[in-house]
Structure 1
């Protein structure tokens, strides 16, 4: 992808969650390419360590913290590390999330619902509380939350996931309204089918699903993780300074149909 926006995040300190793979790892590469110093948070230390080593070899400022963001203390620890290393938190990309199997609602166990909501909603709630606190102290900042096209529309046999991603957009809009006068912008990206671990897993367990998604998508393809990361980058940088409360579809036209 051609880089036409050099230094979009120059001098910015950024927290990226769910950064060990997929969209989060792509965001780490995209944000550092544009000058950001990043702290990466996820549960898988082995992958974080490899990614941070890669970024440092390219001359970027990168570090990581192992965190389960559904735990309030882990979310606080992630934000605290950014403040300790960089003195401020300029932007955050709250990307951590999980999917689930395609199972009708009445056949799902309560534990499936609880696990998805804890990660996708409680985890975001924990991050927002500590990120906003840090940004209020600094006089502003930008937060981007990763929702899904499932946060805008319904997906069959994925009720807990759809509910969680609708909640992400609800939290995004509520926070955007509440903190706009404090210089904090809060937006969301709503990816369509993307070549992340969640989607690849879904496609692998449901033959024919990928072809069906392509048929329903005007661009007739899935996105690369870096394409979602580029959208998050724009929402996090100063070039979108008059944008807040937006849930931006990045879905190849899927939500238009």
Structure 2
């Protein structure tokens, strides 16, 4: 399925842990050359070490997606090593603090929007000029099932992920005739540090989530990475502007 990534240059933001790390490792195992960025330096170094273990060439740079200069530097680092990326995973994001919408400070709401939405926009903005000039490329932005349905107590997160879905659809139409595909990955609950943070404040949350899911389990990062690589592969060559729910059937209920 992912063999079409062999030899290609793949860039991943938010690669220090969780879904981003799983995508980077899956792409590396498929033969890709990796450009990885994250704000968490220690986790990013661990990802690079894991990529080396699977024999994947990789370069990294610290990257705060709130700063266009950081993204431009990450792309430049990768281009110098491997050439402009052919596949970009705009994955960096945060959950924010669960809170009633009327109790959410404006600064906290704005921070989630800045990282989740504007970070995806800045990543796409950095990726597209070379892709359009070349006449080919793939961008996969990590949204969420919270970009397709609501969730109480997470107004900023839900708003940001709905906006990522809109950004993907609009951008996909903008560049479809130019050989560039743009899609959104919409995971359900995934066993990552983000879920750990939620579960630490809500005893029994994991069990409740498993009970609510038709497949009776929580996704692993590898579950999401497999779908991400499919969207990036030639097998999805006629798929663009799509929002792929990877949620064990949760929103089908």
TM bucket normalised to smaller: over 0.9
CA contact (8 A) 2:29 2:54 kept: no
CA contact (8 A) 2:86 2:138 kept: yes
How far did residue 7 of structure 1 move? 2.6
Please list, as runs of the form range in 1=range in 2, the aligned pairs for 1:5-16 lying within 5 A after superposition.
5=1, 7-16=3-12
Q: Work out which of the residue numbers 94, 99, 114 in structure 2 matches 1:98.
A: 94
TM-score by length of 1: 0.95
CA contact (8 A) 2:183 2:242 kept: yes
Q: Work out which of the residue numbers 100, 117, 124 in structure 1 matches 2:113.
A: 117
CA contact (8 A) 2:2 2:233 kept: no
Partner of 2:165: 169
Asked if 1:198 is matched to 2:188, the reply is no
User: SS where residue 198 of structure 1 aligns?
Assistant: helix
Partner of 2:40: 44
Deviations for 1:93-118, whole angstroms, at most 9, x for unmatched residues?
11100002221100111111011011
CA contact (8 A) 1:177 1:245 kept: yes
CA contact (8 A) 1:88 1:138 kept: no
How far did residue 194 of structure 1 move? 0.1
User: SS where residue 5 of structure 2 aligns?
Assistant: coil
Instruction: Quote the Cα distance in structure 1 between the aligned partners of 2:224 and 2:240.
Output: 18
Moved more, 193-202 or 79-88: 79-88
Aligned structure 1 segments of 4 or more residues deviating by more than 4 angstroms: none
How far did residue 59 of structure 1 move? 1.9
How far did residue 72 of structure 1 move? 0.9
Deviations for 1:174-194, whole angstroms, at most 9, x for unmatched residues?
010000000000001100000
Partner of 1:154: 150
Contiguous gaps of at least 5 residues in structure 1: none
Contiguous gaps of at least 5 residues in structure 2: none
Q: Work out which of the residue numbers 72, 77, 80 in structure 2 matches 1:76.
A: 72
Instruction: Quote the Cα distance in structure 1 between the aligned partners of 2:62 and 2:156.
Output: 26
User: SS where residue 8 of structure 1 aligns?
Assistant: helix
Aligned length in residues: 253
